[in-house]
Structure 1
Amino acid sequence: MGKNKFVFWGLVITTLISALDANIMQTASPTIVKQLGGMELFAWIFVVYMLASTVTVPLYGKLSDMYGRKRLLIISVGIFTLGSILCGMANSMVMLVIYRGVQGLGAGGMVPLSMIIVGDLFTIEKRGRIQAVFSSIWALSSIVGPVLGSFFVEALTWRWIFFINIPIGIATVLCLLPYKEQIEFKKTHIDFKGFFLFGASITLLLLATNMSNSIWYVIIGFIGLIVFALVERKETHPFLPVALFKNKGILMTNLFMLVYCLSFFGTSNFIPLFLQEGAHMSIYKSGLILLSIAVGWMFGSTPAGNWILRFGYKPLFITGSLITAISGLALFIFIKDLSYTNLFIILTIQGFSFGLLFAVGTIASQEFADSSIKGVSTSLQMFLRNIGTSIGVTVMGLILNHAANIVIGMQNVFLYALCLSLVTVMLSFLIPAKTGALSESPS
C-alpha cells in the first residue's frame, strides 16, 4: 500500500464520519427536539439528510469522471463539515433541518467517492479486503455511535455531536492532499436539466416513503422519471450515459443489487425491535445481535477479490443469492422458536452473503465500466442500493404495522423478503462471468 497509505487513511476517516453521524443522531435526536422544540419536524432531521445524500450520489459520480475524485471528495467533506458547524450552531428546529440538508449534500459524495478512489488505486484482490475494513467501521460505529451520542448529550451538549466532525473533516482533507491522480479526466457538458428532472423525481419517490397521501408522490415521481427518460434520449451528453444501460454487465449487476437491497438487507432494522417486543430482551442485548451480520460481512467481503479472479462474477452472485435465500427461508420458518444463539448463527451466515455480494457488486460496477464512466457507474450502483434499502424498509414497516402482533409481523416481513430473494437468485444467472479484462487493474 506504501505510497497510498495516507489516501487509504483519508478514506477510512471519511467512512468513519459518515457511519458515526448516522448512529450518533439516532441517540441524540430526542434530546435535541426537547431543547429546540418543534416535535412536528422530528422526522425531517433524518428525511432531509437522506434525500440530499441519496439524490446527489449520481451527480458526484458524474462530476468525478470529469474533474477527478480527489477534488470532489475534498469538496464533499468540506460541505459536510460546514453543514456540521451550522447544525451545531442551530437554535431552532427549522434551522437544524435546513443545515442537515447541507450536511446531506456533502455526505452524498463521501462514501461513493471513497469507493471510486479504491477502485482507481487498488487491485481487485486488495479491494475485497479494503471493503471489509470499511464494513467493520460501519459495524463498530453501530456500537460506538450510540455510546458517543449518550456521552455528548449527558457530559457536554448535543452540539458536540456535530462539532466533533470539524477535526475529523480537517484530518481527512490533510490525508487526501498528497494524493496524485494518475487518470486523465475528460471534461464534458453537464446535463443539469437531466439531473434536475432525475433528482426531483427520485425526491418525490423517496418522500412517498415518509408522507401520508403517498400515492400522489409516487404517481408524480414516476411521471417525472418517464419525462427524464424521454428528454435524455435527445441529449448529446445525458446525465446518465447510455453506455451504462447498453452494457449487460452493468445493467444486470445494478438490477440485481437493487432487488437484493429491497429484500433481506433491510430486515436487520427490525430484528432488535422484534427481540425487544417479542422476546422482552434488553435494548443492549437486542442491539448486539447485529454484530452477527458484521462478523459474517467481514468473512464474506475479505476474500471477494481473490474469488472474483478465481471463479468470475456469475458463480459468486449465484452462491451469495442462494445463501441469502436459504438462510432467509430458515428465518421465515423458525423465527418463532429460534434461540438467541441460533438466530445469531443464521444472521452471521446471511451477513456473509451480504459482505460477499456488496463487495463483488461494487467491483463489478467498476470493472464492467470503461474508465471514462467508472465514477458514474460505481455511484449509480450505490444510489440504487440506497433506493432499494429505503423502499424495502418502508414496505417492511407497513407489513409489520398491519400485523396482529410482532411475531406474525416478522414472519410476514421474512416472507416478503424471501419472495424477492428468489428473484435475485434468477437474476444472478443473467450476470456475465467475466469483464474480459480482469487482470488489467491498478496496482
Structure 2
Amino acid sequence: MKFDWWLMCALAIPVILETLDYTGKSFSFFLPLSVFNALNLQSYIGTSYLLASTVFLPLFASIADIYGRHFGLQLSLLFFLVGSAFSTGAVNMTMLLAGRGIAGIGAAGLLTIVPTILSDSSSLDTNNIQQFARFFLYSLGFCLGPVIGGFLVTASFRWVFAINIPSAALAMVLCFFLLRKRVKGAKSSEELPGSAKSTTWIIKLALIDWIGTFLFVIGGVLILLALNWGPNDDWKTVRVVVCLAVGVIVFVACILWEVVLEWKHQASSLAFGALYHVQPMLPLELFRSYDICVLQYGCFVSGIVMFVMFYFVAMFMTVVSGLSPDQAGIQLLYFAPGIGGGSLVSIRLIKRFRQPIYPIIAGLIVMAVGLGLIQMGMQKNVQGLVNGFMCMTGFGVGLTAGPNAVQARFLMPDHVAVTNALLLFFRALGGTVGLAQCFTVMNAKVNSYIVGQIRSDAISSSDLNVLEALYNSGGLDSIQSLDGLPPVVQQIIRDAFRNGVRWSFISLIPWAGLAVILSLFLSKIPDPDAQKTDHEEEMELSEQDETRKPSDELEGDEHDDMPIQQQNH
C-alpha cells in the first residue's frame, strides 16, 4: 500500500481552506449582517457561497479531465483568493455576497479536484488510506475553523475572510512545486471525445460542454435561489414559484442536451462536425446505476447533516445558550472528533472486509439516531447532551464520507472526476436544501411560539407591548438587540428559538431513515488489490518455471547422454 506524503502535503492547505471557509464563518455570519443591519438576509450569506460551490462542480470535473488536475486546482485557488479579497474589503452587502459567490466558485474546484486526485489510484488500499487522510484534514479544519473564526471575529468580521488570502497564495506555490509532476495530467487525444488530434489550449476549450454547463448553472441558480427565498416568503410568492418552475424546466433541458450528446457520440457521424468532439458534462450512465444514485443520495443526507449542524447548532449556542462567538466556536469542536473517529473506524472496516458498504450502512444509521438525540438534548436545554450527541453524529458522517468516495470510484472507474463532482454536488445541494428546510421549520415554530405567548396573558402589559412590537416588525435586527430587551422577553425569544431549532432537527430524520433503507441494497465492489495479487502470483510462478526450465532440460540432456557415453566407453 503506497502513500504519497508529498501529495498530501500539497493538498493539505486546499482541503483545510475549504473546510475553514464554512466552519469558521458558520456562527460568525450574524456579525457582518448586524454591521450592515441586514439580519433578515441571514440565509443569503451562506447560500451565495453554497450556490456557487454547487453549480460549478461539474464544470471543474471537465476542466480536470481536459486540462489536467494541477491546472484545475490552481484555477480554483485563484478564484478562492479573489473572492476572499472581495469579501475582506466589502463595504456593503452586495459586495460581500459577490465575494462569497466568487470564493464559492473556487471552492467548487477544490471540492472536485482534491478527491479526484486522491481517487486516481487503482488500488483499493491506497484509495482507502488517502481518503482517510483527506477526512483527517477535514477534521483538522473542523477543529481549527470554529476556534479561529470565533477569535478573529471578535476583532472584526473581515479577518475571517482575510486569513484566506495568504493561505490561498501559499497553497498555489506549494501545489506548483509539490503537485505539478505528481498528479494525472490532461487526457490524451485518444481518450478525448471524437479522438481529437489537436491538444492546444484554445482547441481544448471547444471540448468543454459549455451548453450543458450553462443550462446546469442557470437551472441550479434558479432552484437554489427559490430554496433560499422560500423560508422567508412562506413558499407562496411569485419569485419562489417562478424560480422553481423555470429552474426545473432548465434542468430538464440540460438532461435532454446530454442525451443528444450521448446519441451523437454513439452515431459517430461526421455530419455533427465540432459537436462530435464535445465531452458530455454529465455522462448519463451514472444515473442508470442504482448504486451511484444511492451513493449520491447518501451524500445528499451527509450534506444536510454537516451544514445544518454548524449553522443551527451555532444558532442554538449563540441565541439560546447566550454564548459568545469564541465560546460557541469551542463547543462546535465536539463535531470534529466524531468525524475523525468515524473516518478511522471506516478505514479499518474497509481493510478488514474489503468492502465500503458496511461502514456506509453503519454511518447512516448513526446519523439518523444522532439527529434524534440532538433534538432531545436541545429540548432539555442541556449543553453537555448536545455536545455529546453532536460528536456521535459526526462519527456517523466520518463513517460514510470516505467509503462513499471509494465505493463510487470502483463502480465507475472511467468517470472518476465527474463521479466525485456529482457526489459533492449532492452533498452541497443537501446542505442548501437542509438549510432551507430548517429555516422554514424554525421560522414557523418561532412565530407559533411567540404568538402563543402573546395570547396567553401570562406576561405583563409592558413586556407584552415589547413582544408585540418585535413580532410585528418582523423579528430581531441583530443579535445585539436581544440583550437590550426586558429579561422576560429575552427568555421568551430564547425559548422560541430553542423550540424552533429542535424541530428543525426532527424534520431531518426522515431523510436519514430513507438513506439507511436504500443503502441496504448496495452492490459489492471488485477488489483490485486481490486481483492484482493473484496475477502477480501467476507471473511469479511463470517466471520461476521459465527459470527452472533450462536447468531441467540440461539435467535431462546430461542424464540422457550418460548411457551413450557409458556405452561408448
- Residues 176 and 60 (structure 1), Cα distance of their counterparts in 2 relative to 1, 3 Å cut: farther
Distance, in Å, in 2 between the alignment partners of 1:434 and 1:55 is 29
- Residues 136 and 202 (structure 1), Cα distance of their counterparts in 2 relative to 1, 3 Å cut: same
| 1:164 partner SS | helix
| 2:525 partner SS | coil
Q: Which residue of 2 aligns with 1:192?
A: 210
Q: What's the RMSD between the two structures over aligned residues?
A: 3.4
Indicate the larger mover: 403-412 or 1-10: 1-10
Distance, in Å, in 1 between the alignment partners of 2:527 and 2:409 is 13
Q: Determine if contact 1:198/1:225 at 8 Å carries over to the other structure.
A: yes
Q: Give 1:139's match in structure 2, choosing from 137, 142, 152.
A: 142
Q: Which amino acid aligns with 2:420?
A: T
Distance, in Å, in 1 between the alignment partners of 2:30 and 2:109 is 28
Q: Which amino acid aligns with 1:4?
A: D
Distance, in Å, in 2 between the alignment partners of 1:238 and 1:170 is 29
Q: Give 1:225's match in structure 2, choosing from 251, 256, 271.
A: 251
Q: Which amino acid aligns with 2:432?
A: S
Q: Determine if contact 1:63/1:72 at 8 Å carries over to the other structure.
A: yes
Q: Which residue of 2 aligns with 1:179?
A: 181
Deviation at 1:407, TM superposition (A): 3.5
Q: Which residue of 1 aligns with 2:412?
A: 369
1:232-271 mapped onto 2 (5 Å cutoff):
232-236=258-262, 237-262=279-304, 266-271=308-313
Q: Determine if contact 2:88/2:162 at 8 Å carries over to the other structure.
A: yes
Q: Determine if contact 1:327/1:350 at 8 Å carries over to the other structure.
A: yes
Q: How many equivalent pairs are there?
A: 439
TM-score, L = length of structure 2: 0.68
Q: Give 2:388's match in structure 1, choosing from 336, 345, 357.
A: 345
- Residues 124 and 98 (structure 1), Cα distance of their counterparts in 2 relative to 1, 3 Å cut: closer
Structure 1 alignment gaps of length 5 or more: none
Q: Which residue of 2 aligns with 1:9?
A: 9
Distance, in Å, in 1 between the alignment partners of 2:503 and 2:33 is 34
Q: Which residue of 2 aligns with 1:209?
A: 227
Q: Determine if contact 1:260/1:424 at 8 Å carries over to the other structure.
A: no
Deviation at 1:216, TM superposition (A): 2.0
Deviation at 1:149, TM superposition (A): 2.9
- Residues 124 and 267 (structure 1), Cα distance of their counterparts in 2 relative to 1, 3 Å cut: same
Q: Which amino acid aligns with 1:416?
A: S
Q: Which residue of 2 aligns with 1:66?
A: 66
Q: Which residue of 1 aligns with 2:363?
A: 320
| 1:244 partner SS | helix
Deviation at 1:66, TM superposition (A): 2.8
Q: Which amino acid aligns with 1:193?
A: I
- Residues 179 and 223 (structure 1), Cα distance of their counterparts in 2 relative to 1, 3 Å cut: same
Q: Percent identity?
A: 22
Distance, in Å, in 2 between the alignment partners of 1:171 and 1:260 is 32
Q: Determine if contact 1:152/1:160 at 8 Å carries over to the other structure.
A: no
Distance, in Å, in 2 between the alignment partners of 1:276 and 1:37 is 18
Query: Is 1:394 matched up with 2:397?
Result: no
Q: Determine if contact 2:147/2:329 at 8 Å carries over to the other structure.
A: no
| 2:379 partner SS | coil
| 2:281 partner SS | coil
- Residues 86 and 291 (structure 1), Cα distance of their counterparts in 2 relative to 1, 3 Å cut: closer
Q: Give 1:417's match in structure 2, choosing from 503, 508, 511.
A: 508
Deviation at 1:299, TM superposition (A): 0.6
Q: Determine if contact 2:48/2:104 at 8 Å carries over to the other structure.
A: yes
Q: Which of these two proteins has the greater Rg computed from alpha carbons? A: 2
Q: Which residue of 2 aligns with 1:429?
A: 520
| 1:241 partner SS | coil
Deviation at 1:40, TM superposition (A): 9.1
| 1:70 partner SS | helix
Distance, in Å, in 1 between the alignment partners of 2:25 and 2:375 is 32
Distance, in Å, in 1 between the alignment partners of 2:300 and 2:437 is 15
Q: Which residue of 2 aligns with 1:307?
A: 349
Deviation at 1:323, TM superposition (A): 1.8
Q: Determine if contact 2:47/2:432 at 8 Å carries over to the other structure.
A: no
1:100-179 mapped onto 2 (5 Å cutoff):
100-121=100-121, 123-147=126-150, 149-150=152-153, 153=156, 160-161=162-163, 163-165=165-167, 167-179=169-181
Deviation at 1:278, TM superposition (A): 3.8
- Residues 440 and 394 (structure 1), Cα distance of their counterparts in 2 relative to 1, 3 Å cut: farther
Distance, in Å, in 2 between the alignment partners of 1:169 and 1:71 is 13
- Residues 162 and 413 (structure 1), Cα distance of their counterparts in 2 relative to 1, 3 Å cut: closer
Q: Which amino acid aligns with 2:115?
A: M
TM-score, L = length of structure 1: 0.86
Deviation at 1:2, TM superposition (A): 8.8
- Residues 439 and 85 (structure 1), Cα distance of their counterparts in 2 relative to 1, 3 Å cut: farther
Structure 2 alignment gaps of length 5 or more: 194-206, 263-278, 450-495, 533-569
Q: Determine if contact 2:10/2:179 at 8 Å carries over to the other structure.
A: no
| 2:183 partner SS | coil
Q: Which amino acid aligns with 1:210?
A: N
Deviation at 1:128, TM superposition (A): 4.1
Indicate the larger mover: 375-384 or 60-69: 60-69
Q: Determine if contact 2:69/2:185 at 8 Å carries over to the other structure.
A: no
- Residues 207 and 291 (structure 1), Cα distance of their counterparts in 2 relative to 1, 3 Å cut: same
Distance, in Å, in 2 between the alignment partners of 1:377 and 1:407 is 39
Q: Determine if contact 1:263/1:416 at 8 Å carries over to the other structure.
A: no
Q: Determine if contact 2:111/2:421 at 8 Å carries over to the other structure.
A: no
Q: Determine if contact 1:58/1:379 at 8 Å carries over to the other structure.
A: yes
Deviation at 1:73, TM superposition (A): 0.7
Distance, in Å, in 1 between the alignment partners of 2:72 and 2:6 is 17
Deviation at 1:69, TM superposition (A): 1.2
1:369-409 CA-to-partner distances (Å, cap 9, x unmatched) read 12x31011011101110001111111011111111223432
Q: Which residue of 1 aligns with 2:423?
A: 381
1:403-414 mapped onto 2 (5 Å cutoff):
403=445, 404=449, 405-414=496-505
| 2:261 partner SS | coil
Deviation at 1:78, TM superposition (A): 2.3
Q: Which residue of 2 aligns with 1:52?
A: 52
Q: Which amino acid aligns with 1:248?
A: Y
Indicate the larger mover: 406-415 or 345-354: 406-415
